[in-house]
Structures are given as structure tokens and as C-alpha cells.
């Protein structure tokens, strides 16, 4: 029994989070670097500079989803000068803006997977990648978080995936896995202090609850791979590419392909939870993650929240809509990273979310949450 309870910890994960910033007091959206005060980092986490977007946070590895959510919120909170003041105060303060796009650059999340207690050989990584690959359109829908592009509010859920796939995370075949830096799934052979990993480069969202929701879905697939089970979804190349594009455009309101059948993303989520029910039971997800999954079933991902908040600010005063949005975002993110829920985050952004009391996951015969 003890071995079964700890089985979910055999898949170890790490996250690399890229972010825009909000410069204060003017609440201007920028790519200027944000960094916390020296000495606040824990062993294994890093606050660094990304060559493209600027600010990047690298988590220490975690063995459970509950731990991952805690580490991510605690780590990103350290960027806030409200809680971690610099020894030498500067006039310019910056808060994170966790979106996948805004101006002309892309920000997102890279996710690394390894297996505890053994080295992830390239052939094992290729098999694991084959299990994850045909779920990538669904993971795009879950993590979509870039409805704003070139300072314009669009109807696209993930401008980043539509515009950057051929540059930063090129689609590959299910049976293919290389060490090419810019594929959507990459085998990283490791270094002296870093084990070999499978890197998943596509996720758009960098908001902790949505990032960790994607991580939980990926981990569920990996746990069933460890059990020796077959892949839960198989798509033709044409269906895969079509489904991927639909997910980028429509997010959780898109129709996605499950074994040749085109279904709403909400029904895909139900089928996914049912197909990987043993893994979900093992992972012991925190209540905040179940709330996130229920929101996703109602069609609300990060892109939907950002778009609704941006549209509200634009309707109030078009010339200053970005500053209005940014001001609310700073307050909302401070609350989220201080232990408040995703529902309270949306409320701070003046976004009204749907009721979740009657939302079931996996089908009405399952009591999740």
C-alpha cells in the first residue's frame, strides 16, 4: 500500500516560466527584467534572464503536483518587491505579467520530466513522448494564455502557438524524438548536475494554477506509461495538426480530435480524466487544481480570463486600457501568489466566472471533485 501511495512520485518534474513585466508606478507593460532580492532563492530554483522575453523563473524539481503548485506560487511571489524589498531601493518596481504574448515576443512554460531512481534513456523518453504527443492539442487548449498580440485584443486563444510553433516548438511526428532545441518535445541528455529529461516546450500559460493543471495532465499520462499501458489517444498526422490549430484558436471552446472523433474540448477533458482515472486518484490533487479543471470544463482557461479583463478595461477607456488592465493585474497576482484562489484572482480582474457546483469531471458517474 505504501508503495502504491508513493508511485506518483516516480515522475519528477521541473518548470521554466517566462514572463512579461509591469513597470510601476505607471503600470506599463514591458519586457524589462525583473529579479528578486539576492538570497531569497531556495536550493535548486533560479531567477534568470531569457534571451527572448527577459524574465525567467526556473523551479526546483518536484515529485508531487501538490508540491509543484506550492513551489511555483512561492517562487514567483519572490519577484514582488511588496514582500521582498531590495536592500537598495530603486524607483522602478516591476511585477510579473503572466501571459503568453502581448507585444511582439512570446512567453510560456517549458516542462521537464524525469523518472526517479533511474536515468531516462532516449528510447524510454521516445516511448513516453509517444504517449504525450497526441494529447498536445488538448494541452494547448488547457494552457492557452495569449489572446493579446501586438497590443491588440484578438479572438484567438493562443497567438503564441499559432505564430511561434515553427520557430520555437516545431510540430514533430509521434514516433520522432530528437535533441533539436526547437521541437515541441525534446530529449535533453542531461549534464553533471542535471539528469536526462523529456522537455515539453509548447505550454502557453505561466499562471500557476493553469501551469500545474497542464503538469497534472502530463503526469497522468506518464504514470500510465510507467504501468505499461498503451497511449490513450491516437491521431493521424492530419488530424493532429488540425486539432492543434483549432486548440490554439478556440482554446477550451474548440472541438478536438479523440481517436478520429471530433468532440468539444470539455468532453475531451472528461474522456481524459476517465482514461487516466487511476493516475488521478494516486496524485491526490489539491482542491485548487480540481477547481481549475472544473473551470476548464466550463470553457475558462487563462486566455478567456485575460481577454475578458482586457475587454472590460478597453470598454471603460480605450486610450488607457492597458494601464487599467495592468493595475488590476498587479493586485490580482499579489493575491493569487499569497495563497488566494484562481476564483479570487479573476474577481480582482473584474471577471465574472461561472458557477461550478454542478460541474463533474470524467462523467456524472464519477464523484470528482
Task: Report the alpha-carbon distance of residue 247 to residue 162 in Å, rounded.
Answer: 10
Q: Do 11 and 226 contact (CB within 8 A), yes or no?
A: yes
Task: Report the alpha-carbon distance of residue 276 to residue 267 in Å, rounded.
Answer: 14
**What percent of the chain lies above the pLDDT cut of 90?**
81
Mean pLDDT of 180-193: 89
Nearest Cα residue to 190 out of 109, 113, 133, 108: 113
Q: Do 262 and 185 contact (CB within 8 A), yes or no?
A: no
SS3 277: helix
User: Would you state the pLDDT for residue 2?
Assistant: 40
Distance of CA 99 to the CA centre of its chain: 10
Query: pLDDT digit string (tens) for 40-92?
Result: 878 889 999 988 899 999 999 999 999 999 999 999 999 986 665 554 455 46
DSSP string over 195-226: --EEEE------SHHHHHHHHHHHHHHHHHHH
User: Would you state the pLDDT for residue 37?
Assistant: 79
User: Would you state the pLDDT for residue 369?
Assistant: 53
CA angle 180, 32, 331 (to 5 degrees): 110
Domain boundaries 2-284, corresponding CATH code = 3.30.590.20
Q: Give strand ranges (E) for the chain.
A: 11-24, 28-30, 46-50, 54-58, 93-97, 109-115, 148-149, 152-153, 185-188, 197-200, 255-258, 261-264
| All structural domains of the chain with their residue ranges | 2-284
Query: pLDDT digit string (tens) for 336-360?
Result: 999 999 999 999 999 999 999 889 8
Query: pLDDT digit string (tens) for 308-338?
Result: 999 999 999 999 999 999 999 999 999 999 9
Q: Reply yes or no on whether the pLDDT at 202 is more than 50.
A: yes
Residue 305 binned pLDDT confidence (cut-offs 50, 70, 90): very high
Task: Name the more confident of 357 and 12.
Answer: 12
Average pLDDT over the chain reads 91
Nearest Cα residue to 254 out of 264, 241, 244: 264
Amino acid at each position: 500500500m505504501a508503495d502504491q501511495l508513493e508511485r506518483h512520485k516516480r515522475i519528477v518534474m521541473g518548470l521554466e516560466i517566462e514572463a512579461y513585466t509591469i513597470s510601476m508606478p505607471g503600470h506599463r507593460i514591458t519586457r524589462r527584467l525583473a529579479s528578486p532580492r539576492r538570497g531569497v532563492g531556495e536550493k535548486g530554483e533560479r531567477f534568470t534572464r531569457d534571451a527572448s522575453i527577459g524574465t525567467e523563473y526556473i523551479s526546483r524539481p518536484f515529485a508531487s503536483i501538490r508540491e509543484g503548485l506550492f513551489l511555483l506560487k512561492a517562487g514567483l511571489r519572490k519577484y514582488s518587491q511588496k514582500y521582498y524589498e531590495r536592500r537598495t531601493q530603486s524607483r522602478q518596481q516591476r511585477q510579473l505579467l503572466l501571459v503568453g504574448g502581448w507585444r511582439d515576443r512570446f512567453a510560456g512554460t517549458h516542462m521537464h520530466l524525469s523518472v526517479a531512481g533511474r536515468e531516462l534513456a532516449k528510447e524510454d523518453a521516445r516511448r513516453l513522448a509517444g504517449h504525450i504527443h497526441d494529447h498536445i492539442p488538448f494541452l494547448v487548449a488547457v494552457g492557452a494564455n495569449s489572446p493579446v498580440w501586438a497590443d491588440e485584443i484578438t479572438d484567438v486563444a493562443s497567438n503564441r502557438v499559432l505564430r511561434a510553433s515553427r520557430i520555437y516548438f516545431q510540430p514533430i511526428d509521434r514516433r520522432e524524438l530528437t535533441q533539436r532545441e526547437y521541437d515541441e518535445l525534446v530529449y535533453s541528455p542531461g549534464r553533471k548536475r542535471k539528469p536526462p529529461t523529456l522537455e515539453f516546450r509548447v505550454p502557453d500559460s505561466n499562471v500557476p494554477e493553469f501551469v500545474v493543471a497542464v503538469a497534472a495532465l502530463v503526469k497522468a499520462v506518464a504514470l500510465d506509461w510507467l504501468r505499461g499501458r498503451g497511449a490513450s489517444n491516437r491521431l493521424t498526422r492530419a488530424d493532429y495538426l488540425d486539432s492543434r490549430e483549432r486548440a490554439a484558436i478556440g482554446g477550451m471552446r474548440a472541438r478536438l480530435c479523440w481517436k478520429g472523433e471530433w468532440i468539444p474540448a470539455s468532453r475531451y477533458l472528461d474522456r481524459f480524466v476517465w482514461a487516466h482515472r487511476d493516475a488521478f486518484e494516486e496524485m491526490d490533487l489539491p482542491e485548487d487544481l480540481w477547481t481549475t479543471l472544473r473551470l476548464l470544463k466550463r470553457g475558462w482557461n487563462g486566455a478567456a480570463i485575460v481577454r475578458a479583463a482586457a475587454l472590460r478595461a478597453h470598454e471603460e477607456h480605450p486610450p488607457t486600457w492597458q494601464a487599467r488592465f495592468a493595475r488590476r493585474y498587479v493586485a490580482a497576482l499579489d493575491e493569487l501568489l499569497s495563497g488566494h484562489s484562481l476564483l479570487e484572482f479573476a474577481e480582482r480582474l473584474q471577471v465574472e466566472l461561472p458557477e461550478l457546483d454542478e460541474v463533474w469531471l470524467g462523467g456524472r458517474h464519477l464523484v470528482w471533485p
